[in-house]
Chain A
Amino acid sequence: MQTTAAGRSISLKRGLKTMKLQQLSLFLENRPGRLDAPLEAIAAEGINILTLSLADSAQFGILRLIVREWDKAKEVLEKAGWVVSLTEVVAVDVPDRPGGLAEALKILEGADLNIEYMYAFSLRRGDKAILIFRFEDPDRAVQVLLDKGLHVVDGEELISLVP
């Protein structure tokens, strides 16, 4: 795979594959208390949640989780009866200041990447915010992001950033 100037050398060494994150998605009915059970189930196994996001409609919701040990978490959740799907997502960090997100999105806009959805969170320490993207084609997206000079946060780095 060829890459142009802006990609970071450390990321390239590890290869583009490892730059994607594995996200778990869970189907939940939209009723009070439905969110607690899966979170408790993975907490009981000592699995840390790096970040989560909930997309919901009036009737149901989709809980998206990025955890330290996704394979173990998936097994725990499935064993407990949840429908879990595994999706590759891409994390990008941007300066945590007004306009930080807009700048990153502007870069993506020109790149003809289909974004299925995204969510963001800011880190408690430091001045960075992390954006999580679900791209239609995550492999191509990583390549484009690196080409455009954005910083793609891989799993290891994310773990080091989240306390």
Chain B
Amino acid sequence: MSAFHRDIQAQDEYPIWDPDGETLARPELEQLQLERLRSLVSRLAQVPFYRDQLSHRDIRPQGIRDLADVRKLPFTTKADMRRQHPLGLLAVPRKALARIHGSSGTTGKPTFVAYTAKDLETWSELCARFLTAGGVRPEHSAQVAFGYGLFTGGFGLHYGLERVGATVIPAAAGNTRRQIEIMRDLNPEVLICTPSYALTIADAARELGIDPRALPIRIGHFGGEPWTEDMRREIEQELDISAFNNYGLSEVIGPGVSGECPARAGMHIQEDHFLVECLDPESLEPVPEGEPGELVITALTREAMPMLRYRTRDIARLTREPCACGRTTMRMSRVTGRTDDMLIIRGVNVFPSQIEEALLRVEGTTPHYLIEVSRPGTLDEVHVKVEIHPEIFSDRMDRMQRLRERIGREINRVAGIRAHVDLVEPRSIERFVGKAKRVLDKRGLSDPAS
């Protein structure tokens, strides 16, 4: 734990951005959720997709008597969003929109998400809440190294920081050397980016002969990809900062669904705006509190694009245990997996996206790679095959060995597993049209995700 984090924890009171929204007694909070859920169901009549489904099931707002009745409502999936492409799920006239964002996803076509001015206002407030919970103060400067664009990360955090009253430095994503220069010139206390990019910044600083711990950053708010407690320790150690996790997805708003407080015992879900269920992805029944399940999120207050029971495919655990910080909201664990592509390697949940993230940090090792999982004896083995091409080939054996070791190290760092790195000849990995097949699971397990 950094000295700074001890300072945060030593404060007598944790500042809370919106005590009215964040510390409601649970019965009041649940009453508010129920009212908002009813109101949502009546607003859904504006959306043909939902209107058809609700009338088909004969669901009316007055039929929602308690929060458990949410289970009578239909789910929304990514596929539904694609079928309603581009803006079929709007609940307001097009001219009432203030902004449109999109999720690039990994499957090609972006899915668009729309906001009214009121939605943007809500979003700023939600980000201000978790930023305040994670130590950001009006006197701070914050460097945002997220992409600014359709991606919700950059703008979401930007507006949240402005709302807190901090000075925003919209450095945007990429050009690590320049990020470091900006940091050294402007001395921001806060860094906003993906967790893996924080480590990239530390590495780049070291390569420039700069001690990463001497950089001015003291607080990091990281999100946009799954990460681990090990990675948090590494980031905090490397940069001498306090690192906070936050969670969100563009389909329901973007960042701001939940975020950590100084206790860092899970992320507080902004329950006055989101109704979050944790379900068994197979049976779609709720799992007991504290057990891992798929998060299903209903956006209670979104005007432009209300979202009913969105199936996030993110696996996490929920708890309603009271938190030391005084917030009464439910907390969610880190996202520990995806229902669609998660691999379990020797008991460790691994996302193919983590392997990709690791490879992206070693120049020239993507796009042609393959993750091969096998079980030669009783233990799982992972081979990550990376195609050699002229930019990364050297006639020197020591350099090639170093390349291999570096890939292995990055994989271990990001995904927490030891993988065998196989450098392979060019064009030896099968090419696919469209979405590449990145994983070859030779273990013959029936359904690794369940």
- Give the B-binding residues of A (Cβ under 8 A): 23, 25, 27-29, 34, 55, 57, 59-60, 62, 64, 81-85, 87, 116-117, 134
Contact = CB atoms under 8 A, between A and B. Distances in A.
B397 A62 contact: yes
A117 B396 contact: yes
Contacts of B426: 27, 81-83
Contacts of A64: 395
Given A27-B388, A60-B400, A83 B395 contact: no
7 smallest beta-carbon distances between A and B, as pairs: A25-B395, A55-B397, A27-B388, A83-B393, A87-B395, A60-B423, A83-B388
Nearest to B385: A29
A55 B388 CA distance: 16
Contact of A85 (B393, B404, B424, B425): B393
A59 B423 contact: yes
Interface string B418-438: 000011111110000000000
A62 B389 contact: no
Interface of B: 388-390, 393-397, 400-401, 404, 422-428
Contact of B394 (A29, A82, A84, A85): A85
B425 A62 contact: no
A29 to B, nearest CB: 5
A62 B393 CA distance: 10
B423 A27 contact: yes
Contacts of A82: 425-426
B422 A85 contact: no
A34 B425 CA distance: 10
Given A23-B395, A29-B422, A29-B428, 9 more contacts: A27-B425, A57-B401, A59-B423, A60-B400, A60-B422, A62-B400, A64-B395, A81-B426, A82-B426
Contact of A29 (B397, B400, B404, B425): B425
Contacts of B396: 62, 116-117, 134
Nearest to A60: B423
A90 to B, nearest CB: 14
Contacts of A85: 390, 393-395
Contacts of A117: 396-397
Contacts of B389: 83
Contacts of B427: 81
Contacts of B397: 55, 57, 62, 117
A78 to B, nearest CB: 9
A64 B400 CA distance: 14
Nearest to B387: A83
A78 B164 CA distance: 58
Contacts of B425: 27-29, 34, 81-83
A134 B395 contact: yes
A55 B399 CA distance: 12
Nearest to B396: A116
17 contacts: A27-B393, A27-B423, A57-B400, A57-B401, A59-B423, A60-B422, A60-B423, A62-B395, A62-B396, A64-B395, A81-B426, A81-B427, A82-B425, A83-B425, A83-B426, A116-B396, A117-B396
A73 to B, nearest CB: 15
Contacts of B394: 85
B196 to A, nearest CB: 26
B430 to A, nearest CB: 15
Contacts of B388: 27, 83
Contacts of A116: 396
Contacts of B428: 29
Nearest to A78: B390
A34 to B, nearest CB: 8
Given A25-B395, A57-B401, A83 B390 contact: yes
Contacts of A25: 393, 395
A95 to B, nearest CB: 28
Contacts of B404: 59
A55 B400 CA distance: 11
A43 B408 CA distance: 37
Contacts of A60: 400, 422-424
Contacts of A84: 390
A64 B394 CA distance: 11
Nearest to B428: A29
A64 B397 CA distance: 11
A81 B427 CA distance: 8
Contacts of A134: 395-396
B387 to A, nearest CB: 9
Contacts of A29: 422-425, 428
B368 to A, nearest CB: 12
Nearest to B394: A85
Contacts of A87: 395
Contacts of A81: 425-427
Contacts of A28: 425
Which among B397, B427, B428 has the greatest number of chain A C-beta atoms within 10 A? B397
Contacts of B393: 25, 27, 83, 85
A131 B7 CA distance: 64
A56 to B, nearest CB: 8
A60 B424 CA distance: 8
Nearest to B399: A116
Nearest to A59: B422
A144 to B, nearest CB: 21
Nearest to A61: B397
